[in-house]
């Protein structure tokens, strides 16, 4: 077989893969240990801690809480981020680049700052949402939306506006032109953005630390709290489930988008 990339690049790529896969390997193997403590390499392999996770009220509820939160965050972030990306891409005014930078800023701000700022605001404003799921949701949306803006913005940059103009000229209202022409062509970017939003929210720690309620903790907070006191492998077992969920959600959205495309082609 013909090699498509130069050898040094190939070596770097393989190193990169190993580097990225190593933590996942650590989590998976540590979660499958037979021993009493979180160690690497594991002492023998068993499903002991996986079963322990499945029986643990604390971890299971945290897992599903995170899942629900990530889903809610994904929905709002996707809609909001797409709208903002469209606005930035389509309007022509001075300070457009500044606006883009402004919208992307939560990504570069440390999560601790965002979390604390929101916490302080919720407390002092008396909105009554500090340390509730609503406040947490707002924090996660704030943190996830820039990823959607980024990916949708990128797909809009390669989208040819004359496609939309052609549709308008053929009789489509702005809304119809968006739905039938623009949306299908930026769907990949929206899809990527929504996966990002889901994953970012699911793994979010710093913002959650400030905003989550004591009785309903997202998975990363639950793990952190439990690992502070005892170094038990069920945290790693929970990690296995988290990794599985993320991979499954990526595969599933891919599949869903393909199905939608197929349907679209059939209804002429």
Partner 1 sequence: MVYVEFSTISKHFGTSVAVADLDLQIEQGEFFSLLGPSGCGKSTTLRMLAGFVKPTTGQIRVNGRNVTALPPEARDIGIVFQNYAIFPHMTVFDNIAFGLVERKLPRAEIKQKVDAALAEVGMTGFEDRYERELSGGQKQRVALARVLVIEPEILLLDEPLSALDKKMREEMKYWIKNIQKSVGITTIYVTHDQSEALTMSDRIAVMDQGRVLQIGTPVEIYEQPASRFIAEFIGESNLLDGTALDVHGAVCSIDIDGTTVTGRLTQNNAAIKGQAVTLLVRPEMIRLHSLDASEKPKLNGTVREIIYQGSVVRYRIQIGHQHVMVEVANRPDLARLDLDDDVEVYWNADSGVAIP
Count of residues of this chain found to bind partner 1 when the rule CB under 8 A is applied: 22
Residue 268 found at the interface with partner 1 (CB under 8 A): yes
Residue 169 found at the interface with partner 1 (CB under 8 A): yes
For the window 180-219, what string marks contact with partner 1 as x by the rule CB under 8 A? Answer: xx--xx----------------------------------
Report the residue from 176, 179, 255, 260 that binds partner 1 according to the rule CB under 8 A.
176
Report the residue from 162, 229, 262, 263 that binds partner 1 according to the rule CB under 8 A.
162
Q: Point out which span in 121-129, 179-187, 220-228, 242-250 binds partner 1 (CB under 8 A).
A: 179-187
Smallest gap from residue 165 Cβ to partner 1 (A): 5
Question: Can you tell me the distance from the alpha carbon of 142 to that of 7, in angstroms, rounded to the nearest whole number?
Answer: 42
Residue 168 found at the interface with partner 1 (CB under 8 A): yes
Question: Can you tell me the distance from the alpha carbon of 131 to that of 89, in angstroms, rounded to the nearest whole number?
Answer: 36
Residue 172 found at the interface with partner 1 (CB under 8 A): yes
Report the residue from 34, 46, 55, 173 that binds partner 1 according to the rule CB under 8 A.
173
Report the residue from 3, 4, 228, 265 that binds partner 1 according to the rule CB under 8 A.
265
> Which distant-in-sequence residues (6+ apart) come within 8 Å of 68 by Cβ?
none
Report the residue from 160, 214, 229, 262 that binds partner 1 according to the rule CB under 8 A.
160
Question: Can you tell me the distance from the alpha carbon of 74 to that of 193, in angstroms, rounded to the nearest whole number?
Answer: 9
Q: Point out which span in 41-49, 158-166, 201-209, 235-243 binds partner 1 (CB under 8 A).
A: 158-166
Torsion of the alpha carbons at 143, 148, 154 and 155, rounded to the nearest 10: 180
Terminus-to-terminus CA distance in the chain, angstroms? 41
Residue 16 found at the interface with partner 1 (CB under 8 A): no
Q: Point out which span in 4-12, 145-153, 163-171, 251-259 binds partner 1 (CB under 8 A).
A: 163-171
Contact 137, 212 (CB under 8 A): no
Alpha helix (H) ranges present in the chain?
A: 7-31, 48-55, 57-90, 96-108, 111-125, 133-157, 161-169, 174-177, 183-203, 206-211, 219-229, 234-266
- Could you say which DSSP state residue 182 is in? I
Using alpha carbons only, what angle is made at residue 26 by residues 23 and 30, rounded to the nearest 5 degrees? Answer: 150
Residue 179 found at the interface with partner 1 (CB under 8 A): no
Question: Can you tell me the distance from the alpha carbon of 58 to that of 64, in angstroms, rounded to the nearest whole number?
Answer: 10
Residue 258 found at the interface with partner 1 (CB under 8 A): no
Report the residue from 20, 170, 262, 263 that binds partner 1 according to the rule CB under 8 A.
170
Question: Can you tell me the distance from the alpha carbon of 98 to that of 121, in angstroms, rounded to the nearest whole number?
Answer: 25
Residue 166 found at the interface with partner 1 (CB under 8 A): yes
Smallest gap from residue 169 Cβ to partner 1 (A): 5
Q: Which helix (H) or strand (E) holds 199?
A: helix 183-203
The burial of 64, by beta-carbon neighbours within 10 Å (0-12 exposed, 13-18 middle, 19 or more buried), is given as exposed
Helix (H/G/I), strand (E/B), else coil: 129: coil
Which positions lie near partner 1, rule CB under 8 A?
A: 160, 162-163, 165-174, 176, 180-181, 184-185, 261, 264-265, 268
């Amino acid at each position: 077989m013909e090699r498509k990339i130069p050898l040094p690049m190939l070596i770097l790529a393989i190193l990169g893969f190993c580097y990225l896969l190593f933590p996942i390997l650590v989590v998976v193997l540590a979660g499958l240990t037979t021993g009493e403590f979180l160690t690497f390499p594991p002492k023998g392999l068993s499903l002991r801690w996986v079963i322990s996770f499945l029986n643990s009220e604390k971890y299971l509820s945290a897992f599903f809480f995170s899942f629900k939160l990530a889903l809610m965050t994904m929905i709002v972030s996707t809609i909001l981020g797409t709208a903002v990306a469209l606005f930035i891409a389509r309007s022509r005014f001075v300070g457009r680049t500044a606006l883009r930078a402004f919208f992307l800023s939560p990504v570069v701000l440390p999560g601790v700052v965002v979390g604390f700022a929101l916490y302080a605001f919720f407390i002092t404003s008396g909105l009554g949402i500090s340390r509730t799921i609503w406040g947490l949701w707002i924090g996660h949306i704030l943190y996830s939306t820039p990823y959607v803006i980024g990916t949708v913005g990128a797909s809009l940059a390669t989208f040819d506006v004359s496609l939309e103009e052609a549709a308008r000229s053929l009789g489509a209202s702005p809304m119809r032109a968006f739905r039938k022409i623009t949306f299908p062509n930026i769907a990949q970017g929206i899809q990527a953005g929504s996966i990002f939003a889901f994953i970012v929210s699911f793994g979010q720690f710093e913002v959650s630390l400030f905003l989550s309620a004591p009785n309903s903790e997202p998975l990363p907070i639950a793990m952190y709290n439990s690992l502070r006191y005892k170094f038990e492998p069920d945290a790693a077992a929970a990690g296995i489930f988290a990794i599985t969920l993320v991979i499954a959600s990526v595969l599933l959205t891919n599949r869903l988008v393909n199905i939608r495309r197929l349907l679209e082609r059939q209804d002429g």
